[in-house]
Amino acid sequence: MTRYIVRRLLQAVPLLIIITALLFILTANLGDPLAAFGGERRRLQPADRARLERQLGLDRPLVEQYVIWLVGNDWMKIDLDGDGVADSYGTRKGVLRGDFGNSFQERRPAIEVIGERIWNTLLLMVASEIIVIVLAVLVGTFSALHQYSFWDNLITTLSFIGYSMPIFWLALMLIYLFGVNFQRWGLPSLPTVGMYDLSVGPTVGQIALHMILPLTALSVVSLAAYSRYVRSQMLEVIHQDYIRTAYAKGLPERNVLREHALKNAALPLVTIVGLDLPLLLGGTVVTEAIFGWPGMGRLFWKASNAGDIPVTMGILLIIAVLVVVFQLITDIVYTYFDPRIRYE
Amino acid sequence: MASASLNADEILARQALTPGQVAWKRFRRHRMALVGIWILVGLMLYVTLGAFFFTEADANLVDLRQKISAPSNGHPFGTDMAGRDILARTIYGGQISIIIGVLAVVVSVTVGVLIGATAGYFGGIIDSLLMRFTEAVFNIPQLFLLIVLAKFFASQTPNFTFLGRTYSGSVVIIVGVIGLTSWMYLARIVRSSFLSLKEREFVTAARATGARDASIIFEHILPSAMAPIIVTATLEVANAILSEAYISFLGMGVQPPTATWGNMLNEAYNQLEVAPWMWFFPGTLILLIVLAINFVGDGLRDALDPQSLAGAQE
């Protein structure tokens, strides 16, 4: 097992290099990266622009920029004053040593800017995953056990609608209904923007309250897909011989379902959850943008719009690593649920 | 036995069903898919016949005295920030959204089939290189890639005129960008079909007659691999329309003057509380078309591809 994990991690290295190289070419052309330095009142003079480009290394060939992004430039002399002579050492350490560069917009380390937001996104994602998995198992199992009943048909129809639901449409509906109209009707309304009331501060209660709407918007699509999945898995499993045997030896239905059926029916859900991570991350961009949630998705949207290369690349790298690691975890968890699978 | 009582004519009549008829029979049994077809037909009529009642000039007519007015007899769906009629804009915006969805899938199917077929057919180093590349692109969440690509290509594309109508150049970019970020799943499916199909006798026979690789790939193997491609491509149209809506909603998609259901929502977002009609109608149309395409795709899977996993589990 250890050998398998090590091999997979080693395989991930070239993969991540391909991914980051591809993305580096793309992000280098997000628009004028120096726009953030000018501001409205003072436009950048050509001389300043040239100096800034030299300092940021934007005048170098793309390949060199990528290498510097990767391993930094504190080991080589660079030409800062533009006289054609490389005279001083660079200051960047490169992402391999944890230096993502400075955010063009905020003029402080990109890792700091991202670090402030990433936990908010993870909070939203983890909470959403937990809700979705628990509900999907419950709803899917119920649906499978009452196949073709009124409730099953209703759930199937609803899950189709949920699966087709654009997140932004659902989010706007939720805000309009629970945020705006409830207030208008004098009912207790839910907060629609931000993480907490500025007057109250970031207490647990405030954050939980502010999470309700974004969580709902984020969860519905996955919930619809997963509950359908659990249903079809459950239907397959409960017609297997070993389930009949379990019933035949007199086990109560609860035990049969919980200990025999569910384990095998939930197994494929593990893979789906692991592989759906990119989709969920995409969902957070829209959700965070609409609900003003100070997370990584919204930061990415803003940073890429402003041509803030270090922040954009930093987020993309973190996401790519997350996705690769999650796939590995998925494979390992799979062996736990299904001992028949052995990785050499 | 029941079958013994069937006379020869009946058995012959049964066998006379072509594969197309068999598929249609299976498709008809899928009630949701039929509902989906009707919704799709309705939406198509809406965006085509609607154009006879409103000209594109109506859809772009700015009337600031009428801005943000609620649905009324004059404007059944209300008006937007610039006083433009939302009903007319959903008609013309819908045309663009649907065209973008279909064309983007043409791009993604072309790329996906080319890469998947090449990898599956030739195998070896070509296969592992192409699949590494596919995996790399697969690992970047599509929306992030969409945002980066949309910005990458966004540098001032000129408007262009086609069939007497002017479109924003961003339409072409969005088609390409969505197509280029959604081919990976299809490439994997095509590759795995090709891996198994290339070992079959008819391929050996084709090779023995001296057919060239390109001919074997496109004339011999590809037709046998069509069922999953059709199903995936259908469902992909729904995804492409959603992708357009997402990226336009974030303000990086199709730019004015061209309306799409997605960028109508972008304008509406800031008027969330004041003018719900601005986002309700385009949003609902997106939901309807995506839902209908998903129904139809599900029906197609049952009809064309009964061995597929999802079909077999039903």
How many C-beta atoms surround the C-beta of residue B260 within 10 A? 32
How far is B247 from B153, CA to CA, in rounded Å?
14
Which one of B142, B149, B272 has the shortest CB-CB distance to A176?
B272
How many CA atoms within 13 Å lie on the side-chain side of A332?
14
Return the structure tokens found at A315. Answer: 């987020």
Contact B291, A161 (CB under 8 A): yes
Q: pLDDT (tens digit, 9 = 90+) per residue, A106-151? A: 888 888 889 989 999 999 999 999 999 999 999 998 998 888 889 9
B199 in A contact zone (CB under 8 Å): no
State the pLDDT at residue B309. Answer: 43
Q: What pairing do the DSSP bridges indicate for beta strands A88-89 and A77-78? A: antiparallel
Which one of A236, A289, A304 has the shortest CB-CB distance to B151?
A304
pLDDT category of residue B311 using cuts at 50, 70 and 90: very low
How far is B271 from A244, CA to CA, in rounded Å?
58
Alpha helices (H) along chain A: 2-27, 35-38, 46-56, 62-71, 110-145, 150-164, 167-174, 182-184, 204-237, 241-248, 253-255, 262-275, 277-291, 296-306, 309-337
- Any idea of the CA torsion for B154, B158, B162, B166, to the nearest 10 degrees? 100
Chain B closest-CA separation from residue A179 CA (Å): 9
Is B148 within 8 Å of A305 when comparing Cβ atoms?
no
State the pLDDT at residue B12. Answer: 61
Question: For testing the chain B interface, which of A17, A148, A163, A164 should be mutated: the one with the most B CBs within 10 Å?
Answer: A164
**What H or E segment, with its residue span, contains residue A77?**
strand A77-78
How far is A250 from B313, CA to CA, in rounded Å?
28
Query: Taking CB atoms and an 8 Å cutoff, what residues of chain B touch A173?
Result: 283
Lowest mean pLDDT among A78-82, B113-117, B205-209: A78-82
Q: Which residues are bridge partners to B162 per DSSP?
A: B165
Minimum Cα–Cα distance from A164: chain B residue: B291
Q: pLDDT (tens digit, 9 = 90+) per residue, B276-306? A: 888 888 899 999 999 999 999 888 888 886 5
A150-164 vs A204-237: helix axis angle to the nearest 10?
A: 120
State the pLDDT at residue B191. Answer: 93
Query: C-alpha distances in angstroms, A250 versus A255, A256, A260?
Result: 10, 10, 13
How far is A316 from A300, CA to CA, in rounded Å?
9
Contact B272, B94 (CB under 8 A): no
> What residues contact B237, with CB distance under 8 A and at least 6 apart?
B101, B102, B105, B293
Is B132 within 8 Å of A22 when comparing Cβ atoms?
no
Which one of A175, A307, A316 has the shortest CB-CB distance to B144?
A316
DSSP state of B159: P
DSSP state of A86: -
Minimum Cα–Cα distance from B284: chain A residue: A169
Chain B closest-CA separation from residue A290 CA (Å): 8
State the pLDDT at residue B313. Answer: 34
Which one of A29, A236, A300 has the shortest CB-CB distance to B144?
A300
Q: What's the whole-model pTM score?
A: 0.86
Return the structure tokens found at A167. Answer: 């997140």
B249 in A contact zone (CB under 8 Å): yes
Alpha helices (H) along B30-123: 31-53, 56-60, 86-122
Q: How many residues does chain B have?
A: 314
pLDDT category of residue B6 using cuts at 50, 70 and 90: low
**What H or E segment, with its residue span, contains residue B160?**
strand B160-162
Residues of chain A where predicted confidence (pLDDT) is lower than 50: none
B277 in A contact zone (CB under 8 Å): no
State the pLDDT at residue A119. Answer: 92
Q: What percent of chain A has pLDDT over 70?
A: 94
Contact A226, A132 (CB under 8 A): yes
How far is A56 from A310, CA to CA, in rounded Å?
10
Lowest mean pLDDT among B106-120, B162-176, B235-249: B162-176
Which one of B155, B242, B298 has the shortest CB-CB distance to A166?
B242
Inter-chain Cβ pairs, chain A and chain B, closer than 8 A: 134
A110-145 vs A277-291: helix axis angle to the nearest 10?
A: 110
pLDDT category of residue B312 using cuts at 50, 70 and 90: very low
Q: What percent of chain B has pLDDT over 90?
A: 29
Return the structure tokens found at B41. Answer: 């037909």
State the pLDDT at residue B229. Answer: 92
**What H or E segment, with its residue span, contains residue A89?**
strand A88-89
Chain B closest-CA separation from residue A328 CA (Å): 13
**Residue A189 region by backbone torsions, left for phi larger than 0, else alpha for psi between -120 and 50, else beta:** beta
Mean pLDDT of chain B: 83
**Which three-class secondary structure state does DSSP give residue B85?**
strand
- Do the interacting molecules here have an ipTM over 0.90? no
State the pLDDT at residue B117. Answer: 94
Return the structure tokens found at A213. Answer: 């709407």
Is A304 within 8 Å of B245 when comparing Cβ atoms?
no
State the pLDDT at residue B1. Answer: 42
Contact B182, B142 (CB under 8 A): yes
Q: Average pLDDT, stretch B186-201?
A: 91
Which residue type, as a one-letter code, is found at position B106?
A: V
Contact B78, B69 (CB under 8 A): yes
**Cα Rg for chain B, rounded, in angstroms?**
23
